[in-house]
Amino acid sequence: MKVAVVGATGLVGRTMLKVLEERSYPVDELIPVASERSAGRMVSFRNREIPVVKMEEALDKKPDIALFSAGGSVSKEYAPEFAAEGTTVIDNSSAWRMDPDIPLIVPEINGDILTKEDRIIANPNCSTIQMVMVLAPLHREFRIKRIVVSTYQSVTGTGKAAVNQLENERKGIEGPKVYPHPIDMNCLPHCDVFLDNGYTKEEMKLVNETRKILNDKKMKITATAVRVPVTGGHSESVNVQFNKAFEMEDIYRLLENFPGVSVVDDPARNRYPMPLMAQGYDEVFVGRIRKDFSKKRAVNLWIVADNLRKGAATNAVQIAEYLLTHDLV
């Protein structure tokens, strides 16, 4: 099994290597790939130092699976080339997510739609993954009518340069900035670029990707995405209105029984999900589960996950695991 990791020196790429190692994915040959300026650098994998190669060299090696986390433009250019060589590409960028011919996959929810013919598979946005992990079992049972979500997103979602900006600001050091304002001691209602409709791309990803994954084009969704001075883990306040009536014990039962979701909900003992709790874990944590008394058939949820793991790297590796166990690669 030859596995390429494209973008191996970035935050998500390095996490992909870590997750492949932790989950004992059967990698006979690892092919770490990065830009030309990173070629020759070494990455650690299973107690070995492996040199980073350029894209053309990786293509020549014809990997079985390629995990992409190098940005949309790289994916658009190279994912079809890898696919043409027989490689199954699992892409972490936004390049292919809304392509009607490309599956957008969270394995616990819709892995069963994958086939051997799927040579490019899209990994959803980090904030979408953690939300749909909690909403999927509820939607199956009660059918979601409307979602209102506000996110509180870590700077790691922007990348290493954003982490550096936050750390520099905390130390009083002048340095390069990726945000238009200070992020330390601040919150920016500005994730990704603004669109003509007044929403950001991140907010519209939550809308469009959720509909695609849950297979409901008519689902009403509105989102506000906020960047917060946290260095790991995204949080979301989610208000959900259902078409069908429910009992609160059914909400708890469905969430407690869904794989990959962990209910942490004991406010009397100050137990609720937090980014610090989620760091380094693959579960999606949900708490503050309570009925919305202002609206019929509605609940409030607080959802937290490590955006570099389940929000990106772990979900991609889980897709690769699904392909392997179902003989699709």
Q: How confident is the model at residue 10 (pLDDT cuts 50, 70, 90)?
A: very high
Residues 41 and 32: their CA atoms lie apart, in Å, by 10
The per-residue pLDDT for 229 is 98
pLDDT at residue 181 tops 90: yes
Same domain as 147, residue 119: no
Are 105 and 249 members of one domain? no
Range of the domain at 142: 127-307
| Confidence band of 36 (pLDDT split at 50, 70, 90) | confident
- The total number of structural domains in the chain stands at 2
pLDDT interval class at 37 (50, 70, 90): confident
Q: What is the pTM of this model?
A: 0.96
Are 291 and 156 part of one and the same domain?
Answer: yes
Residues 253, 319, single domain; the answer is no
At 35 the pLDDT is 87
Q: pLDDT tens-digit profile of 188-247?
A: 999 999 999 999 999 999 999 999 999 999 999 999 999 999 999 999 999 999 999 999
Per-residue model confidence (pLDDT) at position 27: 97
Do residues 82 and 11 both lie within one domain? yes
Q: Name the percent of the chain lying above pLDDT 70.
A: 100
Residue of higher predicted confidence among 39 and 147:
147
For residues 66 and 5, give the distance between their C-alpha atoms in angstroms, rounded to a whole number: 6
Whether residue 49 sits in one domain with residue 96: yes
pLDDT in tens, 118-138: 999 999 999 999 999 999 999
Is there a single domain that holds both residue 74 and residue 164? no
Q: What is the pLDDT of residues 64-78, one digit of tens each?
A: 999 999 999 999 999
3-state helix, strand, coil in the chain (%, to 5): 35, 25, 40
Say whether both 36 and 77 belong to one domain. yes
Mean pLDDT of the region 22-27:
97
**pLDDT for residue 80:** 98
Helix ranges (DSSP H) in the chain: 11-22, 55-60, 72-84, 107-110, 126-142, 160-171, 201-213, 248-256, 275-278, 314-325
Same domain assignment for residues 243 and 138? yes
Mean pLDDT, the chain, integer: 97
Coil/strand/helix, residue 39: coil
- Is the model's pLDDT at 40 over the cut of 90? no
Give dist(CA 179, CA 153) in Å, integer. 13
One domain, residues 64 and 149: no
Overall average pLDDT of the 298-310 stretch: 98
- 233 in the same domain as 107: no
Contact 258, 109 (CB under 8 A): no
The Cα-based distances of 226 to 144, 181, 220 in angstroms read: 24, 13, 20
Specify whether the CB–CB gap between 87 and 119 falls below 8 A.
Answer: yes
258 pLDDT band, cuts 50/70/90, is: very high
Half-sphere exposure of 227 (CA within 13 A, CB side): 23
pLDDT at 86: 96
Same domain as 221, residue 245: yes
Cα–Cα nearest to 213, from 303, 151, 130, 278: 130
Which residues, 6+ apart, have CB-to-CB distance to 293 below 8 Å?
A: none
What is the per-residue pLDDT for 49?
96
Tell me the CATH number at 10: 3.40.50.720
pLDDT of 128: 98
pLDDT of residue 194: 98
Please list the active-site residues: 126, 234
Q: What CATH code is carried by the domain that includes residue 158?
A: 3.30.360.10
